[in-house]
Structure 1
Amino acid sequence: MSATPSWQAADGCVHTGPLLQSVNGFDVVACEACGFSHTLPLPTPQELEHIYSHEYYTQEKPLYIERYLEDKAWWDEVYAERYERLEAELPAGRRRLLDIGSGPGLFLAAGRERGWNVMGVEPSERASSYSREVLKLDVRSMFLNEETAPTLGQFDVVNLGEVLEHLPDPAGMLRLVHGLLAPGGMLVALVPNDFNPFQRVLNESMGVAPWWVAPPHHLNYFDTDTLPRLVQRCGFEVRHVETTFPIDLFLLMGHNYIGNDTLGRQAHAMRKTLEMNLRAGGETGRALKSRLHRAFAGLGLGREVLAFARKIDDSPSPA
């Protein structure tokens, strides 16, 4: 697309760039000012607070908690890998973790079982109540912002799992995280890998609608290049990048799960089986799985981008 829409934010910044998609009254542009793609216009913080406090888990993802629990055995393996990498990066005495957007709390529960001191922040009333009442976790029902961040303390790890794509100012969130981390602390950031090569083929050559473009819930669209660059700009050293399994591969094989929950669960079940069998395959299987996910990242493929980064100074440059 050749158009270049522009929009001026309240702070005076002009956001403009090549138009990638137009959906539901929003334009998605490859923003020259931000260095990553996002929607125009961006909603206000007040609009987002209403969506995520009351609507997200009841309207956008009504079965999210139930499905999360159905997949618990697989999630336990996924989270074990992330904790293993963190434990290799940090000394044994550094086990304080904050999970921002902690959802129902399984990541926190997995850390607690490994001896970590964990806390969560989750604006969804439904998800945070489950975490506190069922899993007995320390989860605060609030948004992380400049007012609430100083009340939480300091941490060795901050996890942002599928958070940055929802925010009007992801760089601002990373600056808050930088301040919450102790010297040398670790950031873990997971975002959807959007406009990736498989998706582009499906959309541009096969006429499949861009199902991954979902404003106003998804405002930002990252990939294997733009997420690490943003993290670096905000005062972190990127230590490791990989991607998750490219589930859109099933679409290219003719297994069209878009809008079909039954087919979607079947594709997800096959992905889970593959990964759990590799994890059960001893050192050889685990090493192969790790190499596959790094190789996916090298090709720009994978449904999500996962980055581990270390805080490197106390004065991140403006982003």
Structure 2
Amino acid sequence: MDVTQSAEMNMEPAVLRIVIERLGKWLPIGPVAVRGGKGDIEASLRTLGYEIADAGRSVATVVCSGAQDPEEIEGFLKGALESIDRVPVCIVLCGSVDQTCRVSWEKAMLSRQWRKHPLGELVAPYGELDRVTGLVMTAFEPLPDLAAHAYPLRALEEERDLHTDMMRESGRRSDAHLARYIQASRFVEDGDRVLDVACGLGYGSYQISRSTRAASVVGIDLSDYAVDYAKTNFSGTQGLAPCYSVGDAQDLSQMADGSADFAISIETLEHIPQPVQLLSELHRVLTPGGRLYASVPNDWSDESGKDPNPFHLHVYDWKALSEQFRAAGFHIEKAWLQDAGGGQKRHLAARTMLEVDPRRGPQCDGEWLLVLARKFTTDDAPRNDSLMSTVSDMLRAGGREEAMARLSSAAADSSQPLRRAASAMRLAALHAFSGDAARTQLAWSEGVVVAKPMLEEPALRRDVANLLALAYDALDHDGLSMVALLSRHPAAMALMELERFDPLLNMTDRAFNEGVTAEYEPLGLGGRQIRESLEAKRWLDQKYHEHVARIEELEAYTAQLEEARHWLDDQYHSLTEQVQRLRRAETSHGP
């Protein structure tokens, strides 16, 4: 084995441990070639059972270097790349290095017909790219010969406004796009059929195929150029190869109902005329309980209220995004804010992925909104829970307190977690019918606490998602009647067997109508009109408070501007006085 002595580096034990841990996740099975590193990496990999091989037999190469500026990198690569196989390569830099040299390495490798490795996140986590110094790791794989010939970098530059292969782009924006697909892959379950709508040049579908055990990965895009590029670059790869076809994201009529388990929509909704149509189509083609991972720019509007990007047809914020998902029949399970920096918004931000509460939405700013949502289902059959039969009999006999005590006991039984969560929420419904707002909120919150950890269990995930959707809606709209709330969540109602509360449901609805109608009799309004009027009033109240909050923000901003103006005035007067003193001094001393 030829170890390049000029690339020797001193590697601290802690740094070496991190390097080996990440290489262990990234390296394929088979012999590995090592160049540089003073033998530390080589010895550690041997300890893990890797065979260290010479060029010609390796399935991957680890290259250690200390080169940082472009000239050093170019000089190093001229010799190094000639002596290694055209196999995946991981570059390891340590010592007095920081992440700023990453772009120089990326540009140098991309110009030599390499591209970013689809699993590069394993050696260079997105959240560390602006925070870790003393260690830089970056991975690449060779570009297929046919792709290199048909699509050289200059050809991609000509298409850049419409299509970009982020695996052949350097820098922050590329990192952000690749990180989204890797994050989406973490939620793809073994055997899932994955659909990537508006897949562009196909790099994301390729990442999914390489990072999951999906049964199939299909990417569709409206552009013939994009699909041809994707097929040339990614369809001939080893393992599960993604399939690409031309298609309109807003019209998936070529796909049967329930034919996909997981869907991905990255930076798509803002580009298409009818985003609601896309969400409706995805809801149709997803299986019951299927999941959707999506991202949109987070309020990239300018002072006119519009997005200055001519290709962005819509402006999204959390409210607009969550309302569209809810209207299309999706429940948002997880949400994130992503920053990359270097763009028109939050130009100086570090590369971060911040998880936020999907019920409240983000409480701070960020460049992109990312969500993981689950398709609502209405086909959950009642579970014939004997508990609900007992509770129903108690309610019919007028024993509401006994029924609540029985549900409280079931909500404390840890042996059946799903039943426990459902019972806590049944108890919340009973408290709501009783008019006890404080206990209602407490019971809903308890149900959320019990249910949320079960999202990690595939067998329970679908039922739990339906329960959480009901609970979050109840906590967000504590003024909403229980009847209206349950009508919005038929799947959860079926799961909890709340049809056994039918006498209460009818009584509550009738009592509401009769009580309010009596108050509004002089106006000649019926129960339905009264409901609609009250809903309208609540909506107007909400809008009023939103506008008041916005006015307060503008007033605070005006005060800040005024303070800044005073500061500038003071600076101006101070500088003017200094200039005048200098002129007087110059005059007094003469020529």
Name the residue aligned to 1:302. 366
Name the residue aligned to 2:183. 81
Name the residue aligned to 2:13. none
Contact 2:198 2:220 in 1 (8 A): yes
Name the residue aligned to 1:70. 170
Contact 1:97 1:119 in 2 (8 A): yes
Does residue 1:183 correspond to 2:285, yes or no? no
User: Deviations along 1:48-88, whole A, 9 cap, x unmatched?
Assistant: xxxxxxxxx9667167237754366765544222221x14x
Please state how far the C-alpha of 1:189 moved relative to its aligned partner.
Answer: 1.6
Query: 1:172/1:111 Cα in 2 relative to 1: closer, same or farther (>3 Å)?
Result: same
Does residue 1:160 correspond to 2:265, yes or no? yes
Contact 2:335 2:372 in 1 (8 A): yes
Which one of 195, 212, 234 corresponds to residue 307 of structure 2? 212
Which one of 115, 136, 139 corresponds to residue 213 of structure 2? 115
| Alpha-carbon separation, structure 2, partners of 1:236 and 1:212 | 26
Contact 1:243 1:293 in 2 (8 A): no
Is 69-78 or 161-170 further displaced after alignment? 69-78
Query: 1:292/1:237 Cα in 2 relative to 1: closer, same or farther (>3 Å)?
Result: closer
| Alpha-carbon separation, structure 1, partners of 2:205 and 2:266 | 12
Query: 1:314/1:159 Cα in 2 relative to 1: closer, same or farther (>3 Å)?
Result: farther
Counterparts of residues 92-241 of structure 1 (less than 5 Å):
92-113=189-210, 114-116=212-214, 117-136=216-235, 137-146=242-251, 148-150=253-255, 154-195=259-300, 212-215=307-310, 217-241=311-335
User: Deviations along 1:208-229, whole A, 9 cap, x unmatched?
Assistant: x8783334x2211111221011
Contact 1:244 1:302 in 2 (8 A): yes
Which residue identity lines up with residue 309 of structure 1 in the other structure? A
| Alpha-carbon separation, structure 2, partners of 1:247 and 1:95 | 33
| Alpha-carbon separation, structure 2, partners of 1:77 and 1:170 | 23
Please say which structure displays the higher CA radius of gyration: 2
Query: 1:314/1:122 Cα in 2 relative to 1: closer, same or farther (>3 Å)?
Result: farther
User: Deviations along 1:159-188, whole A, 9 cap, x unmatched?
Assistant: 111111122221111111111101100011
| Alpha-carbon separation, structure 2, partners of 1:251 and 1:129 | 33
Which runs of no fewer than 5 residues in structure 2 stay unpaired?
Answer: 1-156, 236-241, 380-487, 489-591
Name the residue aligned to 1:61. 161
User: Deviations along 1:134-171, whole A, 9 cap, x unmatched?
Assistant: 11031111213446343697111111111111222211
SS class of match (1:183): strand
Contact 2:307 2:314 in 1 (8 A): no
| Alpha-carbon separation, structure 2, partners of 1:139 and 1:250 | 32
| Alpha-carbon separation, structure 2, partners of 1:300 and 1:232 | 22
Which residue identity lines up with residue 277 of structure 2 in the other structure? G
Please state how far the C-alpha of 1:96 moved relative to its aligned partner.
Answer: 1.1
SS class of match (2:234): coil
| Alpha-carbon separation, structure 2, partners of 1:219 and 1:251 | 17
Query: 1:140/1:251 Cα in 2 relative to 1: closer, same or farther (>3 Å)?
Result: closer
Please state how far the C-alpha of 1:313 moved relative to its aligned partner.
Answer: 2.5
Which runs of no fewer than 5 residues in structure 1 stay unpaired?
Answer: 1-56, 256-266, 276-288
Please state how far the C-alpha of 1:95 moved relative to its aligned partner.
Answer: 1.6
Query: 1:147/1:228 Cα in 2 relative to 1: closer, same or farther (>3 Å)?
Result: closer
User: Aligned residue pairs: how many?
Assistant: 214
Indicate the structure with greater helix content.
Answer: 2
Query: 1:301/1:149 Cα in 2 relative to 1: closer, same or farther (>3 Å)?
Result: farther
TM-score by length of 2: 0.32
SS class of match (2:199): coil
Which residue identity lines up with residue 319 of structure 2 in the other structure? D
Between the aligned residues of both structures, percent identity stands at 21
Please state how far the C-alpha of 1:112 moved relative to its aligned partner.
Answer: 1.0
Name the residue aligned to 1:311. 375
| Alpha-carbon separation, structure 2, partners of 1:193 and 1:76 | 18
SS class of match (2:322): helix
